[in-house]
Every structure is written in structure tokens, then in C-alpha cells.
Amino acid sequence: MAIPDYTVSAKLPAYGQVNHAFGQDDGASLVDISPVLYARKGRLYLFAAQRTDENTRIEVYRRYYEDSCFDVIPTLSAALCYAYGQQPEARQALPVAMVVQGLSIHIVAVREEAVALLVRSNHVEDLLLPRSGARELALPEAERNLWSTGLELFGNQRRLYVGDAVVFTTRPVARTLEARQLQRIVRDHAEPHRVARAIARAAERRGVRRPPVSVVRIPGFSPIAEIGPATKAAIPEMPSEVLRPEPETSPIWWALLIAVIAIGIALWFGKPDIKSEDLSEWLYILLMPPTEVPAAIGDGTPLPPLTIDGETPPAE
């Protein structure tokens, strides 16, 4: 069972898988699909085992995208039923199909062959069970021969949120996993590839050989890459004190001291006849000299009257 890892652009959700047969491919690489149709119908992913014929996958892609119906689940179930009718073994080799439109996923699956586990921080649920909103799908009239085989298709639609992960695997693998174990793995690993590898290792420890696991995840918003589980808290250390040099005396005080001494010497030797209020004004002028030269005074010649083109100035 596999989910392709190829992405057209860096948009959510993110995908990861282990122990699958086919690598980075999707509908756009197998059949000729226009970008407009691709955007309207969403991205189709097939979870395929090693024995799945590539022509079967191509036929499912082609029938889904070339169908004039834009209702995802009925169109997808019709494409899968055609593949199951042509090759009965495809029911076990290709048990799940998923379409992604924005942050919403649409799932059609053979429930006795596969599981789709929605893992959140507070609960884990199988999206292919009726209590999770899954409904049994009616088989198309063109594939009436499948009624006798006991085929039961279930479909569900769910919107994902930040932190959600959907784990696709087989029923035997799911029986070896526990809800708390899945929640811990999803919490400790940010990238879906690492989530899939950790789940596969947990199933291998229970005796499952090469368990197929695929993960669809809405990662959290983080400015840095995955940092793994939290480590033991460290004791904060006080920063070392840095000796700062004493601030130097402002030169303004030295200038004021020199000015006062100069005034005192002038008064001592000259002994001018000034009053205390004149002394304060003199000191102010000495310390705050004018910065601009006043404009020259005019000679009294009047300016000519202002005239406007086409008008005669009034007589005085």
C-alpha cells in the first residue's frame, strides 16, 4: 500500500509512506490532465500494493478525471468499481483511494481490507466506520457483476486541521497498534515520513513483516525544522556581570567653569559699575550668543505695485 510523495507545489497537506511499491507519481504524471481540471477535481492518490498493475492505476486515474461529474465520492467509487470488475484481485491490491481538495480529503475504500485512522491529540477514530460519518456506497449499474462478490465500498469526507494526521494501512497492521501509541508517535514526529517509519517499526515489533503505512498530515506552523521530543529542562544560569567604565565628566561643566572664572577675573580688575540684573543678562549673552546675523534695514524706497497680466494697477 502506498501514497505518492510527489507534490506540485508546497501546499498542505504533507505526505509520507514506507514499504510501498511505487514512488513519486500521481495522476498528473500518468495521464494527460489539464491544469484547470486538475485544480477543480483535486489530487487523486491510490494506495497500491506491490502486485498492482500500473495499467490498472492509469485506468482509475483516467476514469476519475475524464468523468463529467464533479461529485468526488460517486465518481471515485465508479472508477474503483471498474478496476475491481476488470481485475478482481485489485480489491486487495488497491483497497483505498483518496482525493485531496485544499484541506479536505475524500476517501473511498474497501473497509474489510484497509483502515483510515484520523489521529488527533484527544482521540483516534477510523474514518471508514459509520460512527465516524462513513456511509456504504451503492455500486454503479455498469458493475452489477460485483454484487455477487460481496464488495462493500465505504466513503467519507473530512476536513483536516493543524496537527491532524490520517494513517492509512491494512487491517492486520492496525490491530497491532494502540491509540495512545499512535498519538505519541504523531506528537513526537513532525514530518509525515518519520511518522510512517515510526508506525511501521512499531508494527514490526509486533511481528508484522514490512507493514505498509501511509500518512497524510497537516503540520503545525513552526519557524524551524523538526526538533524532536522535548529534552530535560536545564537550570538557567545567571549572566556574568560586566564591569562598565565610569562615565567621563561632561565637557559642558568644564566650559561653564572656565566662563565663570573669566567673568570673575574681568570683574576683579575692571571693577565696572554694573547691577546684579545686568550681570545675569551679561552672563546669558556670553553663554548663549546669537547664531544668526539680523537682516539689513531697508533704505525706505517703496516697492513697485503688484500687477497682473491684463489688469491696470489702481491709481494712488
Last residue of a domain, one of 217, 240, 267: 217
The angle subtended at Cα 19 by Cα 213 and Cα 119, nearest 5°, is 10
User: For residue 103, is it within any domain?
Assistant: yes
d(CA 182, CA 198): 9
Residue 176's pLDDT is what? 93
User: For residue 7, is it within any domain?
Assistant: no
Residues in the chain, overall count: 316
Same domain, yes or no: 61 and 197: yes
User: What value does the CA radius of gyration of the chain take, rounded to a whole number of Å?
Assistant: 42
User: For residue 213, is it within any domain?
Assistant: yes
Same domain, yes or no: 206 and 260: no
All cell numbers assigned to 75: 465518481
pLDDT in tens, 157-205: 999 888 899 999 988 999 999 999 999 999 998 888 999 999 999 999 9
Residue 162's pLDDT is what? 86
Same domain, yes or no: 270 and 203: no
Nearest by Cα to 187 from 174, 198, 176: 198
List beta partners, residue 104. 101, 159
**What is the total count of domains within the chain?**
2
Q: Which amino acid is at 68?
A: S
All cell numbers assigned to 225: 525544522
Last residue of a domain, one of 199, 217, 235: 217
Show the domain range for 262: 251-287
pLDDT in tens, 29-68: 667 778 888 888 998 888 877 667 788 888 899 999 989 8
Q: What is the mean pLDDT of residues 83-91?
A: 83
Same domain, yes or no: 200 and 268: no
Same domain, yes or no: 38 and 177: yes
Same domain, yes or no: 256 and 177: no
User: For residue 122, is it within any domain?
Assistant: yes
Please name the residue that has the C-alpha cell 545686568.
278
Q: How far is CA 312 from the centre of its chain?
A: 75
Same domain, yes or no: 124 and 169: yes
| Range from 245-259, 264-278, 285-299 carrying the lowest mean pLDDT | 285-299
Residue 157: count of CB within 10 angstroms of its CB: 16
Residue 18: count of CB within 10 angstroms of its CB: 20
Residue 22's pLDDT is what? 41
DSSP 148: G
User: For residue 180, is it within any domain?
Assistant: yes
User: For residue 45, is it within any domain?
Assistant: yes
Q: What is the mean pLDDT of the chain?
A: 77
d(CA 118, CA 182): 10
Same domain, yes or no: 195 and 53: yes
DSSP 300: S
Same domain, yes or no: 42 and 86: yes
Same domain, yes or no: 202 and 258: no
User: For residue 226, is it within any domain?
Assistant: no
pLDDT in tens, 224-255: 444 454 555 566 666 666 656 666 667 777 78
Last residue of a domain, one of 174, 194, 217: 217
Model confidence at 87, in pLDDT bands (50, 70, 90)? confident
* Torsion over CA: 204, 206, 208, 212 (sign): negative
What φ, ψ does residue 158 adopt, rounded to 5°? -150, 140
DSSP 111: T
pLDDT in tens, 130-146: 999 999 988 776 666 66
Same domain, yes or no: 276 and 209: no
User: For residue 260, is it within any domain?
Assistant: yes
Cα atoms in the 13 Å half-sphere on the side-chain side of 95: 21
Q: Which amino acid is at 94?
A: L
Q: Is there a contact between 191 and 5 (Cβ–Cβ < 8 Å)? A: no
Same domain, yes or no: 204 and 260: no
CATH of the domain at 129: 3.60.40.10
| Range from 21-35, 133-147, 209-223 carrying the lowest mean pLDDT | 21-35
